[in-house]
Amino acid sequence: MSLKHIVILLLSVGMIVGCNTVPREKNQEKISRHWHKSRLNLSEETPKHNPYSYFVRDRLYSQYEEWRGVRYRLGGSDHSGIDCSALVKIIYEQEFGMTLPRTALSQANLGNEISQNGLMPGDLVFFRTGRSSRHVGIYVENRQFLHVSTSQGVTISQLDDTYWKSRYWKSVRI
């Protein structure tokens, strides 16, 4: 497939997602297949205005609306309580058809490490929250990430918040 065809395909996917006229259930599988193919070619230098970035961001906000406020529960994996790695695992399975490991440390070993300056929607951000504990969230946009806070439940926080900035470990693109 030529570069021209890939660009046309990505723009078409962006237009379908942007118009919101087609039910999610009917297009999710088709769009997800294109996501896997296009995501493999993304690099840290990929423009942040890539049409697929908008699709990923919108899917993350949709998941946030579904999970917002669900309380933190170590080992939890449903709406009665959930932990950070379970939230990431569930979102990646539901939205992108990808199966991730269950723990934050295992998730940190996936993909390619990238700099904070190169973050795009869907990238994973990791933090050291204790001597041996790790925390994971999903980058959304504008230095914000979706995660499960022990005090607020599922929320969106700023990477530049003093707490998170001092505990930042690394970012990964899967």
For residue 128, the domain's CATH number is 3.90.1720.10
Catalytic status, residue 49 = no
141 touches 121 (CB < 8 A): yes
Which residues constitute the domain of residue 137? 3-173
Give the separation between CA 38 and CA 151, rounded to whole angstroms: 37
Output the pTM of the full model.
0.73
* Number of neighbours of residue 29 by Cβ within 10 angstroms: 9
Catalytic residue among 34, 36, 49, 84: 84
19 is a catalytic site residue: no
pLDDT at 51: 82
Q: List C-alpha distances in Å: 31 to 19, 41, 56, 96.
A: 14, 16, 11, 9
The domain tally of the chain equals: 1
Is 5 noted as a catalytic residue in this protein?
Answer: no
| 111-126: average pLDDT | 97
Q: Which of 19, 36, 79, 135 is catalytic?
A: 135
| Helix (H) and strand (E) counts in the chain | 6, 8
- Rounded distance between C-alpha atoms, residue 44 and residue 130, angstroms: 29
- Condensed to tens digits (0 to 9), the pLDDT of residues 133-169 reads 999 999 999 999 999 999 999 999 999 999 999 999 9
Of the listed 5, 36, 49, 147, which one is catalytic? 147
Question: 142: Cβ–Cβ under 8 A, 6 or more apart, which residues?
Answer: none
More confident residue, 111 or 24: 111
